[in-house]
């Protein structure tokens, strides 16, 4: 299991467009990927669930990845948060 924290850099937060990319990204991996904000966690396979977390710019989220390809998935997620969502 891999857990990592990120600060969301995009001032608009996790809005529809990046959330869509995140759902699509998750589909490439077998691992179960959870996104957590505060005490609420959702699977990233659902756009609605991701948006319902209402993640704003500057907030901290954590990602929990578990599965056979978790290392690759973690790398892709890392790229997403550090380069796409800004």
Partner 1 sequence: MKGIGVSPGISIGKAFVLKKHEAAIIGMLLKNDMEVSAETEKFNKAVDSSVAEIESIKTNEELILTDEDLAILETQIEFLSDPQLKEDVLEKISGEKKTANDALIDVMANLVELFRNMDDEYMRARAADVQDISDRILKHLNGSDQDLKKQFESNTIIIAEDIAPSDTITMDTRYITGFATQVGSRTSHAAIIARAKGIPAVVGCGDELGVIEDEDVIILDGVTGLVHINPDQATIDDYMARQDVYLKKTEQLKTLKNTPAVTTDGARIMLSANISGADDMDDVFENGGEGVGLLRTEMLFMNRDGFPSEEEQFKFYKQVVLKSKGKPVIVRTIDIGGDKQLSYFGLAVEQNPFLGYRAIRICLDRTDIFITQLKAILRAGVFGDLKIMFPMISNVEEVRAAKEVVAAAKKELTADGVAFNAEVQIGIMIEIPSAAITADILAKEVDFFSIGTNDLCQYTLAVDRMNEKITHLYDPFNPGVLRLISNVIEQGHKHHIYVGMCGEMAGEPTAALLLLGMGLKEFSMSASSVPSIKNIIINHSLSSAQDVCKKVMEMDSSQKIIAYLQSIS
DSSP states of the chain: -EEEEEE---TT-S-HHHHHHHHHHHTT-SSEEEEEETTEEEETT-HHHHHHT-PPTT-EEEEEEESTTHHHHHHHHHHIIIII--
Q: Which entry of 2, 10, 15, 64 is annotated as an active-site residue? A: 15
Residue number with CB closer to partner 1 (23 or 64):
23
61 among known catalytic residues: no
Residue number with CB closer to partner 1 (57 or 69):
57
Among 3, 28, 52, 71, the residue binding partner 1 under the rule CB under 8 A is 52
x/- track of binding to partner 1 for residues 53-82 (CB under 8 A): -x-xxx----------------x--xx--x
């Amino acid at each position: 299991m891999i857990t990592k924290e990120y600060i969301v850099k995009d001032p608009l937060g996790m809005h529809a467009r990046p959330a869509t990319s995140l759902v699509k990204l998750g589909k490439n991996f077998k691992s179960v990927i959870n996104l957590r904000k505060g005490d609420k966690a959702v699977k990233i396979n659902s756009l609605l669930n991701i948006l319902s977390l209402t993640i704003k710019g500057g907030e901290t989220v954590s990602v929990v990845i578990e599965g056979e390809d978790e290392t690759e998935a973690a790398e892709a997620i890392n790229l997403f948060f550090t380069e796409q969502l800004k």
